[in-house]
Amino acid sequence: MTTATTTAPPATGPSRTRRTLALAGAETRLFLRNRTAVVNSVLLPLLLVAAVPALGVGGGEVAVGPRLLVSAIGVMLVFLTYYNLLTTFVARRQELVLQRMRTGELTGTEVVLGIAAPTLLVTVGQVALVGIGVAVLGEWSAPVDVVLPLVALVGGAALMLLLAAASTAFTRTSESAQITALPFLVVSSSLCGVFFPLSVLPDVLATAARMLPLTPVVELAQLGLAGTTWDGQGVGWAGAWTEALVPLAVLAAWLGIGASLARRWFRWAPRR
């Protein structure tokens, strides 16, 4: 077959998914070769679970497992998922790998997803480890709803990805991420309802805190796993879904904002 025309010969290449998986596979291999990162990723959720008997908080009337899992989702998403994605993106940019990846058939979105794949997988694995851990300790109770926590985890991870991508605009090196990520880490985690219930705040502040990116994720996980609203009311399945409307809307809004910021701000090349 000889085609010498300038119109592209009709060759179908690998699909978007296959291209992304190719890069994700290589990135996962890189992650697995980093022993320290692998060990840390497994140890951290186990330590979190070990804290339950160590601190003597378990064994009560109400199982602490669901509450612990909610906290784990909230804390891990910002401190591990967001932070690791930000440092990975910036490191790959400094190494000039991002620009290199972009010279081929991969689109920008595919490059970002492929590079994020190991971190996202680790997030899911760590949440699963905490869940299994508390179940082994006998601190588990049946969730009120399973969809809401899954939405919280998937939506939360997607939001962290978008915010990390957007944060590359003001993060020059992977070291400077320790500083540039700090405001988001501190504000969003302290005001997400994990460390203290938001209902202790004055109304205006509580409402403001509920609008922060991480709070709806924690609220949704808590509604589904523990059947508890943001201000501590117990609810059943129907009540959980009614109460979920606000956090679902807030999360959706943040996903929209995050997508537009990431698209506008993601930087592929180091500053010259």
Question: Taking the CB of residue 84, how many other CB atoms lie within 10 A of it?
Answer: 22
Beta carbon nearer to other proteins, 7 or 183? 7
Tokens matching residue 42? 């497994």
Residue in the structure block whose two tokens are 């609220």? 219
Distance CA 255, CA 267 (A): 19
User: Minimum CB separation from other proteins for residue 125, in Å?
Assistant: 21
Burial class (CB in 10 A: 0-12, 13-18, 19+), 181: buried
The smaller minimum CB distance to other proteins, of residues 202 and 272, is found at: 272
Residues 178-217 that bind other proteins (CB under 8 A): none
Residue 242 engages other proteins in binding (rule: CB under 8 A):
no
Q: At closest approach, how far in Å is the CB of 118 from other proteins?
A: 12
Name the phi and psi angles at 172, rounded to 5. -80, -45
CB closer to other proteins, 104 vs 236 = 104
**Token pair belonging to 13:** 């290449």
- Binding marks (x or -) toward other proteins, 85..104, rule CB under 8 A? -------x--xxx-xx-xxx
127 Cβ contact partners less than 8 Å away, ≥ 6 residues apart? 45, 69, 72, 73, 76, 153
Query: Out of 14, 125, 138, 256, which residue is the one contacting other proteins (CB under 8 A)?
Result: 14
- Asked if 28 is part of the footprint of other proteins (rule: CB under 8 A), the reply reads no
1 binds other proteins (CB under 8 A): no
Rule CB under 8 A: say whether 268 interacts with other proteins: yes
Q: Rounded CA gap, 223 and 210, in Å?
A: 14
Q: Which is nearer to other proteins, 30 or 42 (CB)?
A: 30
**Which one, of 144, 145, 159, lies nearest residue 215 by Cα?**
159
173 touches other proteins (CB under 8 A): no
x-or-dash string of contact with other proteins, 29-68, rule CB under 8 A: xx--xx----------------------------------
Q: How far apart are CA 199 and CA 132, in angstroms?
A: 30
Number of residues this chain uses to bind other proteins (CB under 8 A): 32
Closest alpha carbon to 224 in 209, 208, 243: 243
Residues that bind other proteins (CB under 8 A): 4, 6-8, 11-14, 18-19, 22-23, 25-26, 29-30, 33-34, 92, 95-97, 99-100, 102-107, 268-269
